[in-house]
C-alpha cells in the first residue's frame, strides 16, 4: 500500500467534505452554536418559569373540620383558601391546586390529646398542584411541631424524651463528584450520537453517493489499489467523526460549566472539574470508538445503491448506538468484569467513572483494549467488503456478497487483514465466552479458552478460507540442534523474566486481590488439582493453542507486508494484549517478541511452543513449590519476589541467554532454516 496515494485520496476527500455546507453545519455549527443557544435559552426560560411559579399563589379548598384547617393555613404565605362545593372535582378540573382534609371533630380530638389524620389531595400531573401540596405539607408539619412542643411542656417532659432519635441525611459526595455524576449520565449518549452524526454524511456520500454519481468506476480505473482507496476514504470519515465528537465534547463541557454557575440555586452546590489525566483518557477512549462507528457506517453504506437508500440502511444503526450508553443512567450499573467489555457501553461507563472519581488501571486497560478490538474487527470487515467488486460496483437489489468456500482462491498464507481479523475475533470471544467459562470453573474454563476459543477458530477459519494449514501455521519439522539451543534460551529467559517481573511490579504493582487470586489458583491442596494437571492446563495447552494463533496465523499473515523487526514487535505486543492484564502486559509482550524471533529465524513453530512451555512450566513449579528443597530454600532466603535475582544469578542468566542466542543463530545458519517464508 502506497502511503502517498492514500494521503492524496484523503486530502481530496476531506477537501470535498469541507466544501459541503451540510458537513460544516453538522460538524461545526451544531456543537459551537446550537448547544450554547439551546442550553442558555432553556436555563433562562426555566428561571423565568420558576420565578413565575414562586410568585403564583396556591388555590386551596378545605374539607371536614374547616375551622381548624383555616386557623392553621390562613397565615401561610402564597396559600389562598378558596371555597368550593365540590373540592375534589374542582381539583381535577384545574380550578383548584390542592385540597386539605381534616376529619370532623378534629379540634376536640387534639384537645383530648389524640391524633388526627390530615390528607392533602393534589394532581400529580400538574406542576402548580404539586407545588401547592408541598406548601401545605411544610405548613402542616410546622403546626404539628408546635402542637407537640405544647404537649411536651404541659406534661413536664423534655423534648429529647419524646424524640430519642433525630435523623438527618447528609450528602457527603463532593460538589465535583455530584457534577461529574450528572455529566456522566447525560454526556455519553450525546457523545456517541455526535460521533455517529459526524460519520454519517461522509460515510454515505463517499460510498453510496459515489455509486449514485457514477464516479466509483472512474476511481477504480485509476492505478490505485482498492485498499488504498478504502483507507483514504476511511481516514476522511474517521477524522470528521472525531472532530465532530471533540467539538461537541468541548462545547458541551463549556456550556455545562457555565450553566452550573448560573443555576447554582436550582441545582444545588455543583463544581465542575476536568483534570488533564481524565481528559486524555477520555480522548484516548474516543479514538477507537470513532474508528468502530465509522467503519460500521461505511460497511453498511457501501451496500446501498443510492444516497437515499444508504440513509435508510444507516438510520437504524443510530438507534442501536444510543441504547448502550443509555445503560449508564440505570441504577447500579457500574464498570465491572462484564460491562468493561460491552461495546460502546464500556466507553460510556468509563466516561462516567472518570467524571466521578478514580478508575482502576486494569479497568481502563480493559475498556481501551476491548474497544480497540471491536474497532479492528469493524475496520477489517469494511476493508474486506470494499475490495469486493460485486459489492462496490453492484446495481442489483439485495446484498451482492458470497462466502461460498468453493469460490475462494487457495493460498499458502493468510492475508494481513485475515490474520488481524482472526486475532480480533479470538480476543472478542475471550472477552465473553472465555471470561464466563473461567468464572464458572477456572480450570475447565482455561481448557475451553485455549482449545475452543483460541485454537479452534484459528484452524477452522484458515481451513474455510482455503489456506494451507502446514505453511500458515509453520508446522515444519524442526532441527534438533536448533531446538536444543532454543531450550537453552528458554531456560535463561525464565530467570530473566523473573527479574523483569520484579522491576515491573515496582513500577505497576499487582493489586493484592489479584495476587491472592493467583496464589489460590496454584494452591494444589485446596483446589484438588495436582501439579501434572496444572502443567497440562496452564503450560501445555497455551504452548500449543496460543502459539498456533500468534506464532502461526498472525505471524505468517503480517509477514506478507511488514519487515521482520516490525513483525517481531507487533506480534509480541499483540501477544501481551491477548492476556488482558495491564499488570502482565510488558513482561508478556517481551516474551512474545522473543518467541516470535525464534519462530521467524527457525521457520518452525515448535521452537515457540517449546520455550512457551518452559516458561509457563517454570512459573507453575515455582508457584506450587514443586522444586528441589535446596533451590526452594535459596529462593525463600534470597526473597526474589521482592528484591529480584542476586546479581551473580543475573549475570549467569544474561550469559546463558547470550550463549543460547549465539548457538541458535549458528544452528540456524548451519541448517539454512532461517530463510524468509515463501510468499
Query: 0.75 exceeded by the pTM?
Result: no
Task: For cell 460496483, name the residue.
Answer: 393
Q: Measuring CA to CA, which residue among 434, 587, 436, 437 is closest to residue 504?
A: 587
Gap between the Cα atoms of 326 and 52, Å rounded:
34
Does residue 362 contact residue 335 with C-beta atoms inside 8 Å?
Answer: no
Between 56 and 168, the higher pLDDT residue: 56
Q: Which of 17-26, 49-58, 253-262, 627-636 has the lowest mean pLDDT?
A: 627-636
pLDDT of residue 561: 81
- Band (pLDDT 50/70/90 cuts) for residue 399 is very low
pLDDT of residue 637: 47
pLDDT in tens, 30-70: 666 666 666 666 666 666 766 777 788 999 999 999 999 99
Backbone angles phi, psi at 586, to 5 degrees: -70, -50
Tell me which range, 22-26, 130-134, 162-166, 401-405, is most confidently predicted by mean pLDDT: 130-134
pLDDT of residue 522: 80
pLDDT of residue 489: 95
Structural domains of the chain sorted by starting position, each given as residue range(s) with its CATH number in brackets: 3-41+173-327 (no CATH), 56-162 (3.40.1710.10), 463-671 (no CATH)
Gap between the Cα atoms of 87 and 89, Å rounded:
6
- Give, in order, the Cα–Cα distances in Å from 382 to each of 223, 294, 638: 21, 10, 55
R_g over Cα of the chain: 35
> How confident is the prediction for the chain on average, in pLDDT?
82
Does residue 596 contact residue 572 with C-beta atoms inside 8 Å?
Answer: yes
Tell me the three state secondary structure of residue 2: coil
C-alpha 546: how far from chain center? 25
Ramachandran assignment for 105, one of left (phi > 0), alpha (psi -120 to 50 degrees), beta (any other):
left
Gap between the Cα atoms of 375 and 298, Å rounded:
13
Q: What is the mean pLDDT of residues 91-118?
A: 90
Tell me which range, 318-332, 528-542, 634-648, is most confidently predicted by mean pLDDT: 528-542
pLDDT in tens, 555-614: 999 998 888 999 999 999 999 989 888 888 899 999 999 999 999 999 999 999 999 999
Q: What is the mean pLDDT of residues 345-364?
A: 84
Between 534 and 247, the higher pLDDT residue: 534
Cβ atoms < 10 Å from Cβ of 286? 21
Q: What is the mean pLDDT of residues 62-83?
A: 90
C-alpha 605: how far from chain center? 34
Instruction: Provide the β-strand partners of residue 63.
Output: 101
pLDDT of residue 197: 81
Between 154 and 220, the higher pLDDT residue: 154
Does residue 555 contact residue 567 with C-beta atoms inside 8 Å?
Answer: yes
Within 13 A of 443's CA, how many CA atoms are on the CB side? 16
Gap between the Cα atoms of 210 and 396, Å rounded:
16
- Band (pLDDT 50/70/90 cuts) for residue 398 is very low
pLDDT of residue 535: 92
Pairing mode of beta strands 98-102, 58-64: parallel
Query: Which contiguous run of DSSP H or E holds residue 536?
Result: none
138 CB burial (10 A radius; 0-12, 13-18, 19+) = exposed
Instruction: Provide the β-strand partners of residue 467.
Output: 411
Q: Measuring CA to CA, which residue among 564, 568, 567, 584 is closest to residue 576?
A: 584
Residues contacting residue 544 through CB under 8 Å, at least 6 positions apart: 450, 455, 609
- Give, in order, the Cα–Cα distances in Å from 314 to each of 193, 253, 319: 13, 28, 9
Quick one: cell of 663? 548457538
Gap between the Cα atoms of 512 and 523, Å rounded:
16
Distance in angstroms between the alpha carbons of the first and the last residue of the chain: 16
Does residue 116 contact residue 102 with C-beta atoms inside 8 Å?
Answer: yes
Gap between the Cα atoms of 404 and 398, Å rounded:
17
Q: Measuring CA to CA, which residue among 172, 176, 171 is closest to residue 356?
A: 176
pLDDT beyond 50 at 231: yes
Q: What is the 3-state secondary structure (H, E, C) of 547-605?
A: HHHHHHHHHHHHCCCCCHHHHHHHHHHHHHHCCCCCCCHHHHHHHHHHHHHHHHHHCCC
Does residue 558 contact residue 567 with C-beta atoms inside 8 Å?
Answer: yes
The secondary structure of residue 467, as a DSSP letter, is B
pLDDT of residue 633: 53
Amino acid at each position: 500500500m502506497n502511503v502517498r496515494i492514500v494521503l492524496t485520496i484523503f486530502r481530496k476527500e476531506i477537501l470535498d467534505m469541507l466544501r459541503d455546507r451540510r458537513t460544516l453545519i453538522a460538524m461545526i455549527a451544531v456543537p459551537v452554536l446550537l448547544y450554547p443557544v439551546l442550553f442558555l435559552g432553556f436555563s433562562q426560560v426555566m428561571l423565568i418559569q420558576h420565578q413565575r411559579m414562586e410568585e403564583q399563589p396556591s388555590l386551596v379548598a378545605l374539607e371536614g373540620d374547616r375551622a381548624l384547617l383555616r386557623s392553621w393555613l390562613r397565615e401561610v404565605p402564597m396559600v389562598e383558601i378558596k371555597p368550593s362545593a365540590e373540592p375534589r372535582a374542582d381539583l381535577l378540573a384545574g380550578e383548584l391546586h390542592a385540597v386539605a382534609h381534616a376529619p370532623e371533630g378534629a379540634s376536640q380530638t387534639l384537645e383530648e390529646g389524640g391524633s388526627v389524620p390530615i390528607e392533602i389531595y393534589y394532581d400529580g400531573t400538574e406542576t402548580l398542584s404539586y407545588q401547592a401540596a408541598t406548601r401545605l405539607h411544610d405548613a402542616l408539619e410546622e403546626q404539628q411541631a408546635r402542637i407537640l412542643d405544647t404537649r411536651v411542656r404541659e406534661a413536664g417532659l423534655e423534648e429529647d424524651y419524646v424524640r430519642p432519635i433525630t435523623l438527618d441525611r447528609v450528602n457527603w459526595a463532593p460538589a465535583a463528584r455530584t457534577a461529574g455524576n450528572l455529566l456522566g449520565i447525560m454526556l455519553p449518549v450525546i457523545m456517541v450520537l455526535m460521533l455517529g452524526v459526524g460519520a454519517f454524511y461522509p460515510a454515505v456520500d463517499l460510498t453510496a453517493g459515489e455509486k449514485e454519481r457514477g464516479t466509483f468506476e472512474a476511481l477504480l480505473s485509476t492505478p490505485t489499489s482498492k485498499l488504498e482507496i478504502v483507507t483514504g476514504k476511511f481516514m476522511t470519515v474517521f477524522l470528521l467523526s472525531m472532530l465532530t465528537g471533540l467539538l461537541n465534547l468541548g462545547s458541551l463541557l463549556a456550556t455545562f460549566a457555565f450553566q452550573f454557575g448560573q443555576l447554582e440555586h436550582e441545582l444545588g452546590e455543583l463544581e465542575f472539574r476536568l483534570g488533564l489525566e481524565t481528559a486524555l483518557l477520555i480522548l484516548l477512549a474516543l479514538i477507537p470508538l470513532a474508528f468502530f462507528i465509522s467503519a460500521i457506517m461505511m460497511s453498511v453504506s457501501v451496500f446501498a445503491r443510492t444516497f437515499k437508500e444508504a440513509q435508510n440502511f444507516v438510520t437504524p444503526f443510530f438507534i442501536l448506538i444510543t441504547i448502550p450508553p443509555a445503560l449508564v443512567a440505570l441504577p447500579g450499573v457500574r464498570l465491572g468484569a462484564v460491562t468493561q467489555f460491552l461495546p460502546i457501553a464500556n466507553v460510556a461507563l468509563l466516561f462516567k467513572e472518570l467524571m466521578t472519581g478514580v478508575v482502576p488501571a486494569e479497568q481502563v486497560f480493559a475498556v481501551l483494549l476491548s474497544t480497540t478490538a471491536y474497532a479492528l474487527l469493524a475496520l477489517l470487515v469494511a476493508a474486506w467488503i470494499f475490495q469486493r467488486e460485486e459489492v462496490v460496483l453492484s446495481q442489483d437489489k439485495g446484498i451482492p456478497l458470497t462466502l461460498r468456500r468453493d469460490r475462494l482462491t487457495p493460498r499458502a498464507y493468510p492475508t494481513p487483514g485475515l490474520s488481524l481479523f482472526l486475532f480480533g475475533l479470538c480476543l472478542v470471544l475471550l472477552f465473553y465466552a472465555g471470561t464466563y467459562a473461567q468464572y464458572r470453573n477456572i480450570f475447565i474454563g482455561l481448557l475451553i479458552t485455549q482449545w475452543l476459543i483460541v485454537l479452534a477458530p484459528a484452524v477452522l477459519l484458515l481451513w474455510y478460507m482455503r489456506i494451507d494449514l502446514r505453511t500458515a501455521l509453520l508446522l515444519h519439522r524442526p532441527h534438533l540442534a536448533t531446538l536444543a539451543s532454543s531450550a537453552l534460551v528458554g531456560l535463561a529467559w525464565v530467570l530473566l523474566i523473573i527479574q523483569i517481573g520484579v522491576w515491573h511490579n515496582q513500577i505497576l504493582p499487582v493489586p493484592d486481590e489479584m495476587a491472592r487470586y493467583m496464589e489460590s489458583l496454584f494452591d494444589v491442596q485446596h483446589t484438588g488439582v495436582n501439579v501434572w494437571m496444572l502443567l497440562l492446563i496452564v503450560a501445555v495447552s497455551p504452548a500449543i493453542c496460543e502459539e498456533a494463533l500468534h506464532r502461526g496465523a498472525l505471524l505468517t499473515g503480517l509477514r506478507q507486508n511488514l519487515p521482520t523487526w516490525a513483525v517481531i514487535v507487533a506480534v509480541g505486543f499483540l501477544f501481551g494484549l491477548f492476556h488482558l492484564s495491564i499488570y502482565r502486559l510488558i513482561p508478556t509482550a517481551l516474551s512474545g517478541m522473543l518467541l516470535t524471533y525464534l519462530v521467524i529465524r527457525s521457520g518452525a513453530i515448535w521452537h515457540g511452543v517449546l520455550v512457551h512451555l518452559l516458561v509457563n512450566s517454570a512459573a507453575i513449579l515455582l508457584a506450587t513449590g514443586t522444586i528441589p528443597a535446596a533451590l526452594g530454600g535459596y529462593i525463600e532466603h534470597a526473597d526474589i519476589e521482592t528484591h529480584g535475582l542476586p546479581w551473580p544469578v543475573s549475570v549467569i542468566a544474561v550469559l546463558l541467554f547470550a550463549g543460547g542466542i549465539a548457538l541458535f543463530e549458528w544452528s540456524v545458519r548451519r541448517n539454512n532454516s532461517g530463510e524468509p517464508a515463501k510468499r
